[in-house]
Structures are given as structure tokens and as C-alpha cells.
Amino acid sequence: MGVKLLLVVAVSLVSFLSLGNSSSSVSYDKNSFIVNGQRKILISGSIHYPRSTPQMWPGLIQKAKEGGLGVIQTYVFWNGHEPHQGKYHFEDRYDIVKFIKLVQQAGLYVHLRIGPYACGEWNFGGFPVWLKFVPGISFRTNNEPFKSAMQNFTTMIVNMMKTESLYASQGGPIILSQIENEYGPVEYEVGEPGRLYARWAAQMALNLDTGVPWVMCKQDDAPDPVINTCNGFYCDYFTPNNASKPKMWTEAWTAWFTEFGAPVPYRPAEDMAYAVAKFIMYGGSFINYYMYHGGTNFGRTSGGPFISTSYDYDAPIDEFGLLRQPKWGHLKDLHRAIKLCEPALVSGDPTITSLGPSQEARVFKSNNGTCAAFLANHDQHSFAKVVFGEMHYHLPPWSISILPDCKNTVYNTARVGAQTVQMTMTPVGEGFSWESYNEEAPSYDENMYTVVGLLEQINTTRDASDYLWYMTEVNINQSEGFLEYGYSPWLTVFSAGHALHVFINGQLVGTSYGSLENPKISFSQGVHLVAGVNQISLLSIAVGLPNVGPHYETWNAGVLGPVSLSGLNEGTRDLTWQKWSYKIGLKGEALNLHSSSGSSLVEWLQGSFVAQRQPLTWYKSTFDAPDGEEALALDMSTMSKGQIWVNGHSIGRHWPANKASATAGCSFCNYAGWFDERKCLGSCGEASQRWYHVPRSWLRPTGNLLVISEEWGGNPFGISLVKREVGKVCAQMYEWQPQLMNWRLQSTGRINRRLRPKLHLSCGSGGKNITSVTFASFGTPEGKCGDFRQGSCHAANSYDVFNKSCVGKNSCTIDVTPEVFGGDPCADVMKKVAVEVVCSNIN
Ligand code: GAL
């Protein structure tokens, strides 16, 4: 016990040292949070620990820190921690204490959103499925069974954090907590019981006495001292419900999630930076990027339904843990500029001056006289020339310039100085050698679980599997007209969702599926039936349980009917109320085919017998881990739908056959103007998700077991293992950025050398160097990365400059001044440099 006590003391001492004052407390007023006695503008980012591996965590946290973040925000995922009632899991990807301690070691703070409702496109919004079956329960309202379960879990998490001394009040990194999540809109619908529940939740949280503030996001009536906060694409308009609370933006959406069947949303860095700069300019003092690293919905953790396995979110750190450039770099530059303004920003209200119809200046002054200014041009279409402090500034449309000394612009949200990196997915290895195992569609058997009528799916499976078989028999009389005249009777199946495969006498005859907006299915098709007994087997598939919506715990899935057969002599026969047999899960799941022990129990077909384009097929192969450290993925483009496992770990659901329908946002996307999740879209007309992340840490050097289940047929020989690596790197920058500098300084040439624009190129940490320069022009180049062109003005030695300074190096820096390029190629013209280089392996 003595040793344990010593250890506890030692651990607290380490946390004490890393975060300063052990009596550190967190307080707030309307201007900002005050942490350890210091006022702070807090820049935070969401990284959800189970959406990456523990081996990835240190790198992600480090990249967040280098990106200028001071806080990491995460939900707590109840269903991951208590998958079965009373049976807890805090290992591996669910080792939340380890995650928080890593954040602490990096010197960052934590915002812990305990919820325990998470939403987050996570299965069932984070609630364990068993919770639905607690007698008398009703989620997220004034319901005793629910409140008691919520209180138990919340208390357990808080106590765990306290035992580990993780609250800032104990010298730990957690400076904030969250109870519930966006309950305000639900409360509005639920009415009085909702209001009572919200007050209860706040009080229950406060009673836990964490010593740090609680927030409730989207909860306008959050009772004091709980802070109500804003979530959205923009939050500058938001005001907290009490003048003593700081203005917080707990979810600044960096883009949006992807659904199977829909295009992939992205959000331009310029607009993201504009939204954040505007929030700070309008008095905000806490901003959290949701997501900063989105990661992967491994296993069956994605919610929805129809949320894709990738939760990339177009976040500054991509799904694979790599920097997304220029977004990461452009936001890093923004954070640096905000930091320079911090003393003035936290000191009180700004002076607001109109600079034009859609232009304004906000000037913040600290008590000791430091001055910081934000100049905004909210016009979506035009540049603005404004006068501020007797100087002139040129502001691009929909942009904000930051002047930490009220004179010099160090940053403009629409001027991206950070490099752009195009990532490539390069096949590695020989290709897979496959074996296959085919499972049959089961048929009606009254010895199975058999009842009259159709059962709701989630009540039946309790989400132990995505799959539920509905099986029945249909007797066809010899005298049926369709047999004689050769037409097909018509089978109609209504399902509450989410996907359905219809098998008649063991043959797949059709497939149908819904979407996130409308998960319901109506299948209607002519089917081939024979005289005598016919087996109808319906494979109903849930693709993630709902995570949001009023009382989503009551939403149904599965074949609820009616099911009917028409075109018979009797007209239409209703099959809904006949006897149906049920089977939960696929045979391969019961056999544990995804594991090495399970897969060795059955006989697999090899060589030319390997099945292709065949439903209900399992594939297996072994492979060696490719050398190097690049992130890996499986290119699944030739497959349809199923699940993937590597060495028994579930990579998630694949569904490349669900193509992204093209919509308006697929064409050109201008950064300027209000953003929403439909504005900027990619992968249109293609698979919503083609690549599936295979974490390096799940691999051994050799003999890795890859198992894939395929529901409706694919070609496994098209699958390849790919590595994600830096391909082209581009950068653009204006000489001396004259449009950003004030004119007087520019004309007198008195710009401090430090402020001169420098262009940086880097191949990152993957062991690559710049091997060639594919475009370089100082002058008036046009186009964008991958598609640059020379303009009418071009310095002849542009290529030479980069060839000399960059080729053969991992990174290089160039001053963007005419002298560097051998003199001015076109005086009196605003010039910039654009460059594109290729990064390749050193050896
Ligand atoms: C928010 C919610 C998050 C997440 C987000 C969309 O409303 O709080 O958990 O679901 O929407 O990605």
C-alpha cells in the first residue's frame, strides 16, 4: 500500500509539474476562462479516442499541439465502456485514462464530454443497446430508470478521473466537462419533462463536484453556473445566457460526416479560418474544432444508420493521422496570429468601427496598452479597400485580417500561405491470394425460433449482429396460372430498414436499401417460383443504429411488413401473418470465421474454385506488412458490401457498391459565402468510401490474416493494399504580400525582414525528399495545385531557384522577393510565386 501511495504522489507530482500550480483551478467570466490564474483564449480540437489506436494517439496529440491547439476535446463512449450491463471495458482503444494522460504529458488540456449521450455519428449515440431494454426506460427525459443509469455511469467516470487526479482542480489536465449534448432542441420538443430533465442533469453534474466548470452545448436555459455553448458552422452571433459566462463554440464543424450513398463533404480552409477569426473578433474565447481528427468507425461503431466507416470529416488531421494541407497549416497560422492578440483579446470589449457597408474593424486593447485589431470584409463577392488608423488595407472577399499590433497584418483568412499536399494511395505488395467460403441462405425450419408474423429487428438481435434472417415457405399449386403462362408472380416486401437481400430457394434475386434520410425499403419484384414448396429467405441488415432524433431508441428496423405475393390465381396472398423462422447473424459470424481459430474450422475453396460475384461469401488471405511506416488502407472498389477483419480486428463495414449520388455541391465550390454540409462535395458518382484504414499496429511483420465477408457479390482479386503517401506538394505566396501589408510600409520598403513572406515546402516525416520541381513561376502564375500555368509575367529562373534550393532536401524555404528570382520580371504588377514539387522515397 505504501508503494502505491508513493506512486500516486509521484504521479500527482508529475502532473503538478507539467501543468504548473497544483492548486490550479479553472474559473471564468464573460471575457475568458482563467486557468491557473491566467486568462486564455482556448483553442481546442476533437479527437475521439476509439476512432484511432493507442499507438496513433501520441502522434495525433503532437500534431494537434504543433497546429496550435491547447485543448483536446472528446466524448466518453458509454457503449464502448459498458457493452454489457455491469461489465466494463477500459482497454486498448477504450483506455480513456491513458488517452487523457498522453494529452497531459504533451502539456495540453482536456475538455471531457461525458454526456453520456454523445450523438457523434456513433452507434446508438453512445448508449449501450442494453439500456433500451431496461424496464420502463425512456431516453433523455424525466424518466427514473434512465436518470438512474445516466447518473451511475457519469459518477463512475467522474470518480475514475478523480482517482487518477485528472481534473485541473487536482493538478490534472481536465479543465472542463460536458453533461448531455445538444439537449436544448430536444427539450423544446419534449416540453415540461424535458425541462425538468435538463435541470436535473445540470444539478446531478454539479453535485459531482469536479472542481472545474460544466458546459451544456445548445442548451439556452442551462442553469448557472453551467455554461451554455454554441455548435455550428458559424457561431459569431451567439451570446451565452448570462453576462458572466464566456462565449464558447464547442463544435466548430470542420466539414461534415460521410454517409454511404452520399458524396463526401469538405470545407475550404479559408472559410473555416474566416468563421473562427470572426468568432474571436466577436468576443469568443473558446473554440473547438469538431473534428480535428475524425478517424475511423472501426467495427460496428458507426451510427446513423448509413454512416460510413471513415469519419474523416475533412479534419485538419486526416483519417490516417496525416496532416491535411493546407487546412492544418492555414489554421496553425491563424492560431499563431490569435495568440499574438491574446493579451488584448481577453481584456474586454472591443471598439467597433464600420469601415464600409460590409466591412468593420474591432480593436481590442489591454490595460497595459497592447492593441490588436481584426479587419473584416464580410462581402462574399468583392475585394474591399479600407482605411484603418490612417492606413489603407486591401481585404479579399469574405475575409478577416489580423493585426496583432493594430498596424501590421500578420494573417488574412483568405490568403493561404500553407502548402497544399496531394496524397496518393499507392498499391504495395503482390496482391492477395484468396480462398473463399460460401454460406448458404438458410431456409425455413420450424425447429428454429419460429413465430407467427414479423419481428422488429433490433428487439430481436439486440444489435449482436447487423443481420437478421426472416424465413418462410410459400406453397405453389400446380394449377397456378403463372406456371402455365410463364409469367412471374410479384413479391412485395416492406421493411423499416436499412438494407435487404431477397433469396428465393437459395438464390439471391434482389437487393434494396434506404438512406440516412429515409431508411425505409419497399422491395417489389417479379420472382421465379416453382410448383410445390418455395423458400423465401429475407436477409435484413441494420447499418448502424440511429444516434440522434426524438426518442430514437424506439425507432424500428427490419421487415415489419406487409409481405405479399401477387399474380396468383387467388390474387394477392398476404405472407405477413404466416409462420416465420428467425436466425440472428450470418453463419460465418457464428463460426467466428474472422479469427484464425474460427477460420481454420471450415474448408475454404482455393485456386480456380475461389468464388467471385457470389453472395454470402467469405474470403481470406494472408499478407506481410509492407516495409516503412506509411499509413495503410485496403482499396475495396471491386467489392459490394460486408465487413473486413485483419488479425481478428474489425476494420469496419465496407460498402463501395453504394455510390455517391451527384448533387449541386459536386461542381465548383467557392470558399466565399455561407458554408453548409451540402455546399462542397467530392467523390460524386463514385463509391462514398473506397479506402478502409488498416492500422499499422494491428499488423505483424508476416502472416497477417485478412478476412472479408461479402453479402451480395464482389471480385476479391480487385482488392489491393495501398499506402498513403505524400505525392505532390504545392505552395503559392504573394511577394511581400502587399495586399495584406499597409501601403505606407510597403511603399517606404520598411518592412521588417522577419515579416517578409517565406515560402515553405516540406515532404513531411515519411522519409521522403523533394525529387523534382514540376512547376515553378514567380510572376503571375494561374491555376491551382496539379494544374498550374504560367501567366503573362514569369521570371525565367523560377525553376532554377527551386531546383537549387529544394531538390534533394526534405524541406526548403524561399524568400518571396524579386531579388531571389534574379530581379523583377514585371514592375508595378502584384506578383506571386507558385510551385509544385514531387516527393519521393530517398533510396
Ligand atoms: C452535432 C452533434 C455531434 C455530431 C455533429 C455532426 O450536432 O453534437 O455529436 O453529431 O452534430 O457531426
- Per-chain mean pLDDT for the chain: 93
Q: Is the pLDDT of residue 416 over 50?
A: yes
Ligand 1 atom closest to 181 (CA): 8
Positions marked active-site: 182, 251
Q: Which of 690, 718, 746 is the last residue of a domain?
A: 718
Give the CATH number for residue 615: 2.60.120
Q: Which of 172-176, 530-534, 653-657, 819-823 has the lowest mean pLDDT?
A: 819-823
Ligand 1 atom closest to 119 (CA): 9
Instruction: Select from 659, 654, 649, 533 the least CA-distant residue to 596.
Output: 649
Q: Is the pLDDT of residue 418 over 90?
A: yes
- Pair 242, 309 in one domain: yes
Q: What is the pLDDT of residue 13?
A: 37
Of 48, 127, 290, the residue with max ligand 1 atoms within 8 A of its CB, to mutate for a pocket test, comes to 290
Q: What is the pLDDT of residue 738?
A: 43
Ligand 1 atom closest to 548 (CA): 10
- When pLDDT is averaged across residues 704-731 and rounded to a whole number, the result is 96
Q: For atom 10 of ligand 1, which residue has the closest CA?
A: 120
Q: Is residue 574 in a domain?
A: yes
Q: What is the pLDDT of residue 736?
A: 59
| Locus of grid cell 517606404 | 748
The alpha carbon of 586 and the centre of ligand 1 are apart by a number of angstroms equal to 32
The alpha carbon of 263 and the centre of ligand 1 are apart by a number of angstroms equal to 18
Dump pLDDT digits (tens) for 635-647: 999 999 999 999 9
Of 215, 548, 552, the residue with max ligand 1 atoms within 8 A of its CB, to mutate for a pocket test, comes to 548
Q: Is the pLDDT of residue 452 over 80?
A: yes
- Pair 609, 538 in one domain: no
Q: Which range has the top average pLDDT, 11-15, 577-581, 626-630?
A: 577-581
The alpha carbon of 807 and the centre of ligand 1 are apart by a number of angstroms equal to 44
Q: Which residues 6+ apart lie within 8 Å of 314 measured at CB?
A: 254, 255, 256, 264, 265, 266, 267, 324, 327
- Pair 649, 555 in one domain: no
Higher pLDDT, 9 or 629: 629
- Pair 772, 786 in one domain: yes
Q: Is the pLDDT of residue 93 over 50?
A: yes
- Pair 770, 731 in one domain: yes
Return d(Cα 758, Cα 735) in angstroms, integer.
Answer: 9
> What order of strands is seen across the sheet that includes strand 33-35?
26-28, 33-35, 38-40
| 245, amino acid identity | K
Q: What is the pLDDT of residue 662?
A: 82
SS3 state at 552? helix
Ligand 1 atom closest to 256 (CA): 12
Ligand 1 atom closest to 121 (CA): 10
- Pair 47, 124 in one domain: yes
- Pair 91, 200 in one domain: yes
Q: Is residue 414 in a domain?
A: no
Q: Is residue 330 in a domain?
A: no
| 313, amino acid identity | Y
Kind of pairing between the strands at 42-47 and 579-584: unpaired
Q: What is the pLDDT of residue 843?
A: 66
pLDDT confidence band for 429 (50 / 70 / 90): confident
Q: Is the pLDDT of residue 87 over 80?
A: yes
Of 48, 73, 119, the residue with max ligand 1 atoms within 8 A of its CB, to mutate for a pocket test, comes to 119
Q: Is residue 772 in a domain?
A: yes
Spell out where 328-486 has E strands: 351-356, 359-365, 371-377, 384-388, 391-395, 399-403, 411-412, 420-427, 435-438, 449-452, 467-476
Q: Find the residues whose C-beta lies inside 6 A of ligand 1.
A: 119-121, 181-182, 231, 251, 257
Q: What is the pLDDT of residue 491?
A: 98
Q: For atom 9 of ligand 1, which residue has the closest CA?
A: 120
Residue 654 domain boundaries: 424-437+590-718
Of 231, 267, 552, the residue with max ligand 1 atoms within 8 A of its CB, to mutate for a pocket test, comes to 231
Query: Distance from first CA to last CA of the chain, Å, rounded?
Result: 55
Share of the chain above pLDDT 70, in %: 94
- Pair 85, 214 in one domain: yes
Sign of CA dihedral 353, 355, 361, 367: negative
Q: Which of 691, 718, 745 is the last residue of a domain?
A: 718
344-348: list long-range contacts, CB under 8 Å, 24+ apart: 344/370, 344/371, 344/372, 344/404, 345/32, 345/41, 345/280, 345/285, 345/372, 346/31, 346/32, 346/39, 346/40, 346/41, 346/285, 347/31, 348/31
Give the CATH number for residue 803: 2.60.120.740
Question: C-alpha cell of 86?
Answer: 455491469
- Pair 200, 99 in one domain: yes
Dump pLDDT digits (tens) for 115-172: 999 999 999 999 999 999 999 999 999 999 999 999 999 999 999 999 999 999 999 9
The alpha carbon of 418 and the centre of ligand 1 are apart by a number of angstroms equal to 28
The alpha carbon of 84 and the centre of ligand 1 are apart by a number of angstroms equal to 25
- Pair 221, 301 in one domain: yes
pLDDT confidence band for 268 (50 / 70 / 90): very high
Q: Is residue 648 in a domain?
A: yes
Q: Which of 718, 743, 765 is the last residue of a domain?
A: 718
- When pLDDT is averaged across residues 85-98 and rounded to a whole number, the result is 98
Cβ atoms within 10 Å, residue 408: 17
Return d(Cα 208, Cα 654) in angstroms, integer.
Answer: 42
In the chain, the number of structural domains is: 4
Q: For atom 6 of ligand 1, which residue has the closest CA?
A: 120
Q: Is residue 403 in a domain?
A: no
Dump pLDDT digits (tens) for 785-823: 999 999 999 999 999 999 999 999 999 999 898 999 999
Q: What is the pLDDT of residue 524?
A: 97
Ligand 1 atom closest to 182 (CA): 8
- Pair 661, 624 in one domain: yes
Q: What is the pLDDT of residue 746?
A: 39
- When pLDDT is averaged across residues 702-722 and rounded to a whole number, the result is 97
Give the CATH number for residue 317: 3.20.20.80
Q: Is residue 645 in a domain?
A: yes
The alpha carbon of 498 and the centre of ligand 1 are apart by a number of angstroms equal to 21
Q: Is the pLDDT of residue 741 over 60?
A: no
Q: Is the pLDDT of residue 439 over 60?
A: yes
The alpha carbon of 645 and the centre of ligand 1 are apart by a number of angstroms equal to 28
Give the CATH number for residue 570: 2.60.120.260
- Pair 709, 774 in one domain: no
Q: What is the pLDDT of residue 363?
A: 98
Dump pLDDT digits (tens) for 463-502: 999 999 999 999 999 999 999 999 999 999 999 999 999 9
Residues 112 and 68 sit within 8 Å (Cβ to Cβ): no
Share of the chain above pLDDT 90, in %: 90
Q: What is the pLDDT of residue 755?
A: 54
Q: What is the pLDDT of residue 750?
A: 41
Q: Is residue 20 in a domain?
A: no
